[in-house]
Amino acid sequence: MQEPSKRLLNTNLVVLFRDQLYKYLETVPEGDFEGYTNKLITAGANLELIKYSDALFEVLLVGGLLQPGGNYLDDGAPPSPFSVNNVSEPPKVEEVKKYIDVFGKVMRRYKYLQKPLETTSLPALLQNCAKWPVAKRDKLAIATGLLISQQLANASCLVNLQKDQLTKDDPSMEAFSGILKKGGIKDIMLFFPPTKHDIKHLETHFKAAGLPQVVDFYVKRQYAIIKESMTKHLKEMVDATESAESMIEYIKESQTENPLPETELVQCIWSALVASVDWSIARSDQIDAMVMKETKVGHILSRHYRAMGYSVVQDRS
């Protein structure tokens, strides 16, 4: 059963919860993260963390209670003694991680906090973050990335990045990419068990979470990485005057391990051939020879891929 959002609770009770939480945190010396961990675990035994989970995570992530719309509740209360928002600016991943490590220890003790964090608290904060200063947004972005990478929250918390008010000035997948990078997430496939490291499981998971754009983002990113590596290697082979047959074998092996669609593959091959020539310094009497060299290699590659049923290479050569 999903707990009621803080927004539906009496504001006075929420403020009382915050003040009681502060009493635990105020006794800890600044920078004593083990002390904050112990106090939060103690608070969990005495306060209704699940009932006031939205308030809890607002305090711990952004430093205070928020009003609907994302502005701080102006009741004269000081910022939280312990909050990701207290990280110095510009924020660094290693500094934010100290706070997220505390989250991890507390949430392993109170496992029921993960669901409200990923289903209500983080989505609400991400929905409001577009209005905040850049440094504050960056702190939340790093924290979100770390929470996801440490499996303290599910990536479905990012669904609010699709909303119009967040995407009209900044594409949602750029925001998503930023969160991943700032949180140190290099490959979202690592969220899945080793037996499910494939596009099919990725697509099923994120479409069910209402995030089909994540699949598109991942596929395009993977294609870009593969193309960059293949283009570089092919250029080196051309520069070393290796045979077209050797290049074909390399391409076949690459396509077996990391298949690219036909159009992406052709762009990759063509880019490698063109990049292998420095046209700017060629004398006019050298150009014909260089063109013949590249055309010969291109023709052999073209002939091979036409035999495999590809068509676009023929058009390029």
- DSSP character for 72? B
Show the tokens assigned to 307: 């035999």
CA–CA distance, 56 with 44 (Å, rounded to integer): 10
pLDDT score at 273: 73
Query: Taken in order 25, 31, 34, 35, is the CA torsion positive or negative?
Result: negative
pLDDT score at 60: 95
Q: What is the pLDDT along the chain (317 residues), one digit of tens a residue?
A: 344 444 445 788 999 999 999 999 999 999 999 999 999 999 999 999 999 999 999 999 999 999 888 888 888 899 999 999 999 988 888 899 999 999 999 999 999 999 999 888 998 888 887 778 888 888 888 888 888 878 888 777 776 665 544 444 444 445 555 555 655 555 666 556 667 667 777 778 777 766 676 677 777 778 888 888 888 888 888 788 787 788 888 888 888 888 888 888 888 887 877 776 665 655 555 555 555 555 555 555 555 555 444 544 444 44
| Cβ atoms of residues 99 and 87 within 8 Å | yes
pLDDT score at 202: 75
Q: HSE of 146 in the Cβ direction (CA atoms, 13 Å)?
A: 22
CA triplet 38, 41, 47: central angle to 5 degrees?
135
- DSSP character for 132? S
Q: Which of 91, 211, 88, 70 is nearest to 142 (CA)?
A: 91
CA–CA distance, 84 with 76 (Å, rounded to integer): 20
Q: Is 232 exposed, middle or buried (0-12, 13-18, 19+ CB in 10 A)?
A: middle
CA–CA distance, 42 with 7 (Å, rounded to integer): 25
CA–CA distance, 207 with 94 (Å, rounded to integer): 32
pTM over 0.85: no
User: Which residues fall within 8 angstroms of residue 217, CB to CB, at 6 or more apart?
Assistant: 173, 176, 177
Residue 82 backbone class (left: φ over 0; alpha: ψ -120 to 50; beta: rest): beta
pLDDT score at 42: 95
DSSP SS3 for 66: strand
What single letter denotes the amino acid at residue 126?
Answer: L
